[in-house]
Chain A
Amino acid sequence: MEKFEKITGVAAPMPLINIDTDMIIPKLFLKTIKRSGLGVHLFDEMRYNDDGSEKPDFVLNQPAYRNAEIIVAGDNFGCGSSREHAPWAIKDFGVKCVISTSFADIFFNNCFKNGILPIVLPQEQVDLLMKDAEKGANARMTVDLEAQEITTSDGEVVKFDVDAFKKQCLLEGLDDIGLTLKKADSIASYETMSASARPWV
């Protein structure tokens, strides 16, 4: 997995609440058997007209935000399905960090598996960052995972919490499966115990 240490980039404001996984990547694009190439379809129905042309009002179509690396979003971002195609599309577009007051559980976990940092902050701090994001391309925000700090374009610093294990995995780009396989002996002894306690499983 690609590491996440520190990024400085443009943040796109998406204040709409309940942005669901069907909005992030419609089902039409779930038929792929690959992980790559989904960025062009990110937010497809919000981003394109039926003829394939861009909707100029959509934030990521505006010149200031075409290269956004951060999204500041309304409540409950990523609600809906478990499709990992949602973070794959976000990552493929070039966004590496999403900030909101809350995320749906599965989406939140999926982000960490793909080198994306989802950050949960209280409403007033999200409001502050949303305002900063609305300033456009000249307002670049810095997200420093090691220090657990976001610095706005005005130099204002916002601290954030992150699970220690997930932080380590992102900083070092660790592969979960490799880590778990180091515990193969523990898994084997659990299976032996379980086979006698719950043989029907």
Chain B
Amino acid sequence: MTAPKTLYDKIWDAHVITEDDDGTSLLYIDRHLVHEVTSPQAFEGLRDAGRKVHAPDKTIAVPDHNVPTTLDRAGGIISNEESRIQLEALDKNARDFGVHYYPVDDVRQGIVHIVGPEQGWTLPGMTVVCGDSHTATHGAFGALAHGIGTSEVEHVLATQTLIQQKSKNMKVEITGKLRPGVTAKDVTLAVIGATGTAGGTGYVIEYCGQVIRDMSMEGRMTVCNMAIEGGARAGLIAPDETTFEYVKGRPHAPKGAEWEMALEWWKTLFTDDDAHFDKVLVLKGEDIAPVVTWGTSPEDVLPITASVPAPEDFEGGKVDAAARSLEYMGLTAGTKLTDIPINTVFIGSCTNGRIEDLRAVAEIVKGKKVADGVRALIVPGSGLVRAQAEEEGLGEIFTEAGFEWRLAGCSMCLAMNDDQLAPGDRSASTSNRNFEGRQGKGGRTHLVSPVMAAAAAITGHLTDVREML
């Protein structure tokens, strides 16, 4: 009889190659996702050392951060010389080292964390890494997935392994049901609001509870995507019928006898009764409202019905940080959140750039118009998401409402391409970070769900979407 294990323990144990006395372990990596920003120095390191990619069949490259999202990009117009060089470097590296590759003109191209699941590269029980903190997204499948730096990218390319210390186990349980107008984005932001951005540091979070069980795979990806914003190494959700249903039939999912074999193992991937968690947080689904961030840290979360807080509402180092945030954000304590005007709306990113997000947005904006003076972008997470949206008539709804309906990429989430906020611009954004300058130098970001972003686009100010349902 072995000791009860958490889901994290089980996946970890299945991937340990060697373990030293101090717990330092060599972990096997099943999938390595690569994009253009964090990989050029790693490939250069391989070349300098005369090394090859150890497992090119487990390595998937796709450009996303720098790519233009304008409809004319097929012409190869990339205004920024450095962006062009970085994209060319990925193209050359992917071809030279023979890894799987979705170039910018492939309909399957998109944000790496949307492409992986979409193509069936991400499967339950796997270890998945990428030189990108939002790799946490893949945890939705019950895969141990986390971001790594460029040195570790090179390490994985060369060896298909990582040197790791095991994290602690944290359970986040969301009980009950969500109320209308409340989404997976509100859940994940509410959790960060409760734990703080360092609350998960040193932990792998397992999200569970009825709300998570009832959630679609796309919602689960939104939840796990922001585990990193709570400081956690990774977020995990135990795979279930919803997961298997989503995975089945995808291009790189197992088929036939291998599918049956995989399924048998995947069904053992859950936390045993009485397994130990080092930290536990329980939230009631019914208590979560549509939320919005007011400051420059993802922990600065409040229900849309609240008002801007004052620095004195906080303690310790947060007092100064809140004062700095309010100044940067140009906000005054006591202002009702719904009275804050916005001039930009960004819908997209690895957090909220999937088809269900776009369907939810279309429900809100159908037959309405984007408010005067508001620039509103919808950027699908992949070429296939865009194609699906077109097929369902969503693209037409967006353009008729006055949205710019773009091609796939990271876009204004981190503003490495031309999609940026100008100084003083204020956005309602479905992305994942509201850091100073994140969406453009001097830009001000309020993180919200897709339906909340849609509502703000129509009214021109932060809005409680429940009034529009």
A-side residues, CB < 8 A to B, are 15-18, 20, 22-23, 26-28, 30-35, 45, 74-76, 79-84, 87, 102-106, 109-110, 113-114, 163-165, 176-177, 179-181, 183, 186-187, 190-191, 194, 198-201
**Is the CB–CB distance between A76 and B198 below 8 Å?**
yes
- Select B152's contact among A16, A34, A109, beta carbons within 8 Å: A109
Q: How far is the CA of A177 from the CA of B165 in the complex (A)?
A: 16
**Is the CB–CB distance between B151 and A33 below 8 Å?**
no
**Selected A-B contacts with CB under 8 Å, 16 pairs:** A22-B437, A74-B321, A76-B197, A81-B414, A109-B148, A110-B149, A113-B151, A114-B151, A163-B22, A165-B24, A177-B154, A194-B28, A200-B123, A200-B253, A200-B254, A201-B58
Q: How far is the CA of A104 from the CA of B433 in the complex (A)?
A: 15
Q: How far is the CA of A27 from the CA of B419 in the complex (A)?
A: 13
Given contacts A22-B436, A164-B22, contact A187 B37 (CB under 8 A): no
**Is the CB–CB distance between A183 and B436 below 8 Å?**
no
The A-contacting residues of B in range 338-373, CB under 8 angstroms, are none
**Is the CB–CB distance between B159 and A104 below 8 Å?**
no
The A-contacting residues of B in range 68-100, CB under 8 angstroms, are 80, 82-83, 85-86, 89
B466 at the interface (CB under 8 A from A): no
B-side residues, CB < 8 A to A, are 17-18, 20, 22, 24, 26, 28, 30, 37-38, 40-41, 44, 49, 51, 58, 65-66, 80, 82-83, 85-86, 89, 123, 125-126, 131-133, 135, 146-152, 154-155, 158-161, 163, 165, 167, 197-198, 201-202, 228, 231-233, 253-254, 258-259, 261-262, 265, 297, 299, 316-318, 320-321, 324, 414-416, 433, 435-438, 441
Q: How far is the CA of A22 from the CA of B435 in the complex (A)?
A: 7
With a CB–CB cut-off of 8 A, which chain B residues contact A82? 38, 131-133, 135, 147-149
- Select A105's contact among B20, B202, B262, beta carbons within 8 Å: B202
With a CB–CB cut-off of 8 A, which chain A residues contact B321? 16-18, 74
7 smallest A-B Cβ distances: which pairs?
A: A200-B254, A113-B151, A31-B82, A110-B149, A84-B149, A33-B40, A82-B147
**Is the CB–CB distance between A84 and B17 below 8 Å?**
no
Q: How far is the CA of A26 from the CA of B416 in the complex (A)?
A: 10
Q: How far is the CA of A46 from the CA of B126 in the complex (A)?
A: 40
Q: How far is the CA of A12 from the CA of B259 in the complex (A)?
A: 57
- Select B85's contact among A28, A33, A79, A105, beta carbons within 8 Å: A33
**Is the CB–CB distance between A45 and B441 below 8 Å?**
yes
B300 to chain A, nearest CB (A): 10
With a CB–CB cut-off of 8 A, which chain A residues contact B198? 18, 75-76, 79, 102, 104
Q: How far is the CA of A23 from the CA of B325 in the complex (A)?
A: 13
Q: How far is the CA of A125 from the CA of B254 in the complex (A)?
A: 53
B204 to chain A, nearest CB (A): 10
Given contacts A31-B80, A109-B149, contact A201 B126 (CB under 8 A): yes
**Is the CB–CB distance between B86 and A15 below 8 Å?**
no
**Is the CB–CB distance between A190 and B17 below 8 Å?**
yes
**Is the CB–CB distance between B44 and A198 below 8 Å?**
no
Q: How far is the CA of A200 from the CA of B321 in the complex (A)?
A: 48
**Is the CB–CB distance between B86 and A33 below 8 Å?**
yes
> Closest residue of chain A to B129, judged by CB?
A82
With a CB–CB cut-off of 8 A, which chain B residues contact A23? 435-437
With a CB–CB cut-off of 8 A, which chain B residues contact A35? 41, 150
**Is the CB–CB distance between B262 and A80 below 8 Å?**
no
Q: How far is the CA of A176 from the CA of B152 in the complex (A)?
A: 9
A130 to chain B, nearest CB (A): 11
With a CB–CB cut-off of 8 A, which chain B residues contact A32? 82
Q: How far is the CA of A81 from the CA of B132 in the complex (A)?
A: 7
Q: How far is the CA of A106 from the CA of B209 in the complex (A)?
A: 28
**Is the CB–CB distance between B435 and A80 below 8 Å?**
yes
Name 13 extra pairs, CB < 8 A, besides A76-B197, A163-B165.
Answer: A18-B321, A20-B435, A27-B416, A27-B438, A79-B198, A81-B133, A82-B132, A102-B201, A113-B151, A190-B28, A198-B262, A199-B258, A199-B261
Q: How far is the CA of A78 from the CA of B329 in the complex (A)?
A: 21
**Is the CB–CB distance between B202 and A33 below 8 Å?**
no
With a CB–CB cut-off of 8 A, which chain B residues contact A16? 317, 320-321, 324
Q: How far is the CA of A169 from the CA of B44 in the complex (A)?
A: 22
**Is the CB–CB distance between B151 and A84 below 8 Å?**
yes
Q: How far is the CA of A59 from the CA of B44 in the complex (A)?
A: 35
**Is the CB–CB distance between B17 and A30 below 8 Å?**
no
Given contacts A16-B320, A34-B41, A201-B30, contact A45 B147 (CB under 8 A): no
With a CB–CB cut-off of 8 A, which chain B residues contact A15? 317, 320
With a CB–CB cut-off of 8 A, which chain B residues contact A183? 17-18, 26
Q: How far is the CA of A114 from the CA of B152 in the complex (A)?
A: 11
**Is the CB–CB distance between A187 and B28 below 8 Å?**
yes
With a CB–CB cut-off of 8 A, which chain A residues contact B131? 82, 84
- Select A187's contact among B125, B161, B265, beta carbons within 8 Å: B161
With a CB–CB cut-off of 8 A, which chain A residues contact B163? 165, 176, 179-180
A189 to chain B, nearest CB (A): 8
- Select B317's contact among A75, A87, A103, beta carbons within 8 Å: A75
With a CB–CB cut-off of 8 A, which chain B residues contact A26? 437, 441
B34 to chain A, nearest CB (A): 12
Q: How far is the CA of A79 from the CA of B231 in the complex (A)?
A: 7
With a CB–CB cut-off of 8 A, which chain B residues contact A163? 22, 24, 165
Q: How far is the CA of A16 from the CA of B324 in the complex (A)?
A: 9
**Is the CB–CB distance between B201 and A105 below 8 Å?**
yes
